[in-house]
Structures are given as C-alpha cells and as structure tokens.
C-alpha cells in the first residue's frame, strides 16, 4: 500500500523498473564502450612511430657507446662465460647505452615488452623522451601507418654489439641494434654504428634506407663469420663450399649483416653469405633478420628454419643469412651437424 492512499500496480512497478534499468544500461553502455575503445587505443602501436623511436634509441645509445670509448672509461668486466668458454664482457658502454635505449622505448610505449641484453635497476634520471617527430626520410619512405596491438610486439635491443671488439678498440665492428617482432616475426630492424654515425633501418612490407647489392656470388661465395665466437665454422664452410672458399672473420652480428648490404662506405667488407655455428641470442640477430627480410633476403637456422622472435632469448640452431639468392639451395649445401651441436 502506497502512502496517501495511492495503490501501485505490481505490473506498473515492474515496467517502471525495467525502463529505469534500460535507461541506466543505455547510459553506462556508452561509457563502458568508450572506455574500452580508449583502453584499446592506448595499447595499439603505430609501427612507423615505433620505427622512429627505434632509430632514435639506437642513436642515443650509440652516443653513450662512443663517449665511454673516447673517455677510455670502459671498466670492463666479465659477466660469465659462453657455452664454449669465451668470456662474456660487460663495459660501461653496454650499460649506459642500455639505460638510454631501454628507457626511451619503455617511456614511449609502456605496454610493449622490451628484451635487452643488459639489465639495470637504476632508473635513468636524465632518460631521453621521444619528441614525437618522425624523421623526414622515414615519413618519405613509409607513407602508410600500420597499427598492431601492443601485446603482439616483442622488442629486442642490443645496446652494444661486438663488445669484445669494442674492448680491443676495433670500432668499425661496433653497433647498437633495435628490432621489433610482431607475433614472433621480425618486422623492424635498426643497426647503427656509433663511430661513423651510419644507420641502416628497414620495415618489412614498409620501406628501408638501405638496399641489397645488385648481385651475390653463391658458386664461390665470400663468407663472413665470427672472429671471437667462431667455433668450428671453418671446416663446416670448407665441407660445404670447398677448401678455397674465402672466409672473412669479423666482429659483431650487426656488422656482419651490414657486410651483405649495399653500403656506400669503404669500411664495410663485402660478403655474400653470413654463417654462424655457435649458440647466439635473439638481440644479436633479430635486427639483421628484419632488415634482410625487408630486402627480400633470409636469415634462418643452419637447417633453414625460420627463427621465432617471441619467447626465449636463445637461438640454438646456428645462422645462415643471405640476400637475393636461392637460400634453400644454400641450406642444402651445408653439412648435417646433428652430432656436433654448439661447435
């Protein structure tokens, strides 16, 4: 019984309540859906922006690498040993470069997973902030933006590649590298030499600032290999390509990929194929893989398997990298090394 003698019909009350709920749902559905949209937008990453930040990160890290080398303040120490027993070196160049590169990428894209070779608990007080300017050459070569969910991205950074050679003063081999993998596939690669200032970048299906050479020799190829983690690469190559094959030992996984490209600088040797037979990690190889893929080339394990750039840092199956040749035919020439893994 309602006050003042007004009698409410139960059906009327029910209809009224339903109407009220409908209005509330209508109002809140709008709010909720716009919240979801805003949330989603925050987690969508424009790959052209991520390329611009990657190029910037390689440059800011590179400035630290150069400064530490020029001040002779490397303070090198051993982080441990590789599986083959070689010392894994860490210098202040690796560490300071890591801080700058990692924080620049993380502060711009907080939802993106970034795997760096180095680690550090100190928050960089003067960490670089991206100015949101996409450089002219990137805007010119990549005209369409492409957005992907942040969750699908893994960024690999090598704050200083060829640390061994860096400690020996062999500056030509040293690079900083950034790679962006989407769903495990390498999509963006940046390789920067801090001492010459040269940067190679490419986006698969997008564009690049570097090209393949007009031709490559696969009959008697010049093969570039590691100088400090070579393992048994020499007999491996001779078995595949003959005893007279030209083998070029060089430092740095980044440098060795640059040696396959058409770089208008005399400092880069010109190789036809890059082979690595020992264990190697994904921050060493992802950027080179993305650049080669963008230019129509391949980087695979020695068995010709694609490398998945999500998940663990390890690449166990060695490396074969080539550009504009029949990669499968190269794989078929290689000896079976089932019984000599990691050598």
Ligand X SMILES: Nc1ncnc2c1ncn2[C@@H]1O[C@H](COP(=O)(O)O)[C@@H](OP(=O)(O)O)[C@H]1O
User: Binding partner of residue 84 among Mg ion, ligand X, none, CB under 5 to 8 Å per kind?
Assistant: ligand X
Q: Give residues with Cβ within 8 angstroms of 224, minimum separation 6.
A: 248, 249, 250, 256, 259, 260, 269, 271, 273, 274, 275
Judge whether 158 is annotated as a binding position: yes
The secondary element (H helix, E strand) that includes residue 247 is: strand 246-250
Residues 236, 308, 306, 52, CA torsion sign: negative
Of 9-17, 41-49, 178-186, 278-286, which segment contacts ligand X by CB under 6 A? Answer: 278-286
> Least CB distance from residue 91 to Mg ion, whole Å?
9
Of 3-11, 38-46, 120-128, 277-285, which segment contacts Mg ion by CB under 5 A? Answer: 277-285
Q: What is the rounded CA–CA span in Å between residue 223 and residue 234?
A: 10
> Least CB distance from residue 285 to ligand X, whole Å?
8
User: Binding partner of residue 99 among Mg ion, ligand X, none, CB under 5 to 8 Å per kind?
Assistant: none
| Closest listed residue to residue 194, CA positions, set 161, 156, 164, 225 | 161
Window 283-312: residues binding ligand X (CB under 6 A)? 284
Does residue number 340 form part of the binding site for ligand X (CB under 6 A)?
Answer: no
Of 19-27, 122-130, 159-167, 298-306, which segment contacts Mg ion by CB under 5 A? Answer: 159-167
Q: What is the rounded CA–CA span in Å between residue 47 and residue 52?
A: 9
Q: What is the rounded CA–CA span in Å between residue 73 and residue 311?
A: 34
What would the x/- binding string for Mg ion be over residues 163 to 182, using CB under 5 A?
A: x-------------------
Single out the residue of 193, 228, 289, 300 in contact with ligand X (rule: CB under 6 A): 228
Residue 200 CA: distances (Å) to CA of 55, 165, 251: 9, 20, 17
Would you tell me which residues interact with Mg ion (CB under 5 A)?
117, 158, 160-161, 163, 284
Would you tell me which residues interact with ligand X (CB under 6 A)?
82, 84, 117, 158, 160-163, 226, 228-229, 251-253, 278-281, 284
């Amino acid at each position: 019984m309602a006050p003042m003698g007004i009698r409410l019909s139960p059906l009327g009350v029910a209809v009224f309540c339903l109407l009220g709920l409908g209005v509330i749902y209508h109002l809140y559905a709008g709010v909720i859906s716009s919240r979801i949209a805003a949330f989603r937008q925050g987690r969508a990453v424009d790959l052209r922006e991520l390329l611009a930040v990657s190029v910037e990160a390689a440059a800011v890290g590179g400035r630290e690498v150069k400064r530490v080398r020029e001040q002779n303040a490397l303070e090198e120490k051993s982080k441990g040993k590789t599986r083959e027993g070689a010392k894994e070196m860490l210098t202040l160049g690796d560490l300071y470069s890591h801080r700058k590169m990692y924080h620049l990428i993380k502060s711009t894209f907080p939802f993106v997973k970034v795997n760096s070779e180095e680690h550090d608990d100190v928050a960089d007080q003067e960490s670089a902030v991206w100015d949101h300017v996409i450089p002219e050459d990137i805007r010119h070569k990549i005209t369409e933006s492409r957005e992907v969910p942040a969750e699908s991205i893994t960024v690999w950074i090598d704050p200083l590649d060829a640390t061994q050679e860096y400690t020996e003063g062999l500056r030509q081999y040293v690079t900083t590298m950034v790679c962006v993998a989407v769903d495990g596939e390498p999509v963006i690669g940046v390789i920067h030499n801090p001492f010459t200032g040269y940067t190679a970048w490419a986006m698969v299906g997008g564009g690049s600032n570097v090209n393949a050479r007009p031709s490559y020799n696969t009959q008697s190829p010049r093969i570039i290999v590691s100088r400090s983690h070579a393992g048994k690469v020499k007999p491996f190559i001779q078995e595949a390509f003959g005893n007279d094959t030209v083998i070029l030992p060089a430092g740095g996984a980044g440098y060795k990929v640059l040696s396959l490209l058409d770089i208008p600088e005399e400092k880069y040797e010109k190789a036809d194929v890059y082979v690595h037979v020992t264990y190697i990690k994904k921050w060493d190889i992802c950027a080179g893989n993305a650049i080669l893929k963008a230019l129509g080339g391949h980087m695979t394990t020695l068995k010709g398997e694609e490398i998945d750039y999500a998940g663990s840092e390890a690449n166990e199956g060695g490396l074969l990298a080539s550009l504009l040749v029949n990669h499968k035919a190269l794989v078929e020439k290689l000896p079976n090394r089932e019984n000599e893994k990691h050598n």
